Amino acid sequence: MRTKQELGAAIRRARRAALVVNARSRRGRHQYERARSRLLAAGFDLLAACPVDRPGQLEESLAEAAGLGPDLLVAGGGDGTVSTAARLLAHRDVALGVLPLGTTNNFARTVGVPLDLDAAVAVLSDGKVIDVDLGLVGDLRFTNHVGVGLSADVMAGTPARLKRLGGRLAYPVTALALLARHRPLRARVRAEGREHEFVTHQLYVANGGFHAGRPITADANADDRLLVAYPVGGPDRRGLLRDTARNAATGHRRTLVDEPFLAVRQLWLETDRPAPVEVDGELYGETPIRIGLDANALRVMAPADSPDR
């Protein structure tokens, strides 16, 4: 496998790339042609270029594009699209290029990719290859977070008909309905010889530095060999709403040493009752679970001045 420097040099020299855009993402359908034309104008040799608009087809399309042998696989979409591409490219001699076309674009923010399409293409053209950590739940890799509590209950409880009719609004509508009768969890996190207990409606374990489009802390990122576990609010429902707003407003001023953040390399999470788990917005089993890290598992095109460990 080539070094990061060798792979970056190959991308700049030969510009062999493949483009897959999730047309079901927030801006994917409208931005596909523009993304394709911008990449061609930047001199990329596109071995494949396709929009994907059928559920279940994204992973297959990404795998087919990667199988053509590009040095750079460009994924356009939101965090779900990026997470799917990241799992496919882990420990492979291909760099992931990110075109942030989703709603929150947490991973793009974490690695410093601009949200403007032209600026993101410029990063693919003039940036550098870095490697970042991926989280692990069992053998499933993830880019951003694991959620236990209300977020997973919302994923499990949103009716399919409501999703078809309301789109993304279906989730906050379901969350408000569930919150009125939601019971808090007693969660125990065991890590590095210590046990931590939280009574909360929502617990996250993050690999990246952003959640819901806002910084988790000023010093969290996907290249620090750390997971960040933290509850949102306590046992009362108002605390969940209050801390959600507080985290969004003050994350950039907080650090990993502040309460209630727990920064560790791996952890075991159990709850007082089996609770559904969501991984990067998709349902994944129930608690108890072990969450770890796959260090430097993914190569990504990032801005030329990005830090890289």
Asked if omega into 51 is within 30° of 0 (cis), the reply is: no
Cα(246)–Cα(253) distance, integer angstroms: 11
Residue 165, pLDDT above cutoff 60? no
Which DSSP string do the residues of 220-270 spell out, in sequence order? --TTSS-EEEEESS-SSHHHHHHHHHHHHHHGGG--TTSTT-EEES-EEEE
Any idea of the CA torsion for 36, 44, 8, 125, to the nearest 10 degrees? -60
Flag the least confident range among 171-175, 208-212, 290-294: 171-175
What integer pLDDT is reported at residue 154 of this predicted model? Answer: 81
Residue-wise pLDDT tens digits, 58-72: 999 999 999 999 999
Q: What is the mean pLDDT of residues 274-299?
A: 95
Residue 25, pLDDT above cutoff 80? no
Residue-wise pLDDT tens digits, 71-100: 999 999 989 999 999 999 999 999 999 999
Strand 72-77 relative to strand 95-100, pairing: parallel
Flag the least confident range among 70-79, 156-165, 208-217, 296-305: 156-165
Contact 268, 290 (CB under 8 A): yes
Residue 137, pLDDT above cutoff 90? yes
180 versus 273: the higher-pLDDT residue is 273
At 126, the amino acid letter reads D
Residue-wise pLDDT tens digits, 211-262: 988 999 999 999 999 999 999 999 998 888 888 889 989 999 999 999 999 9
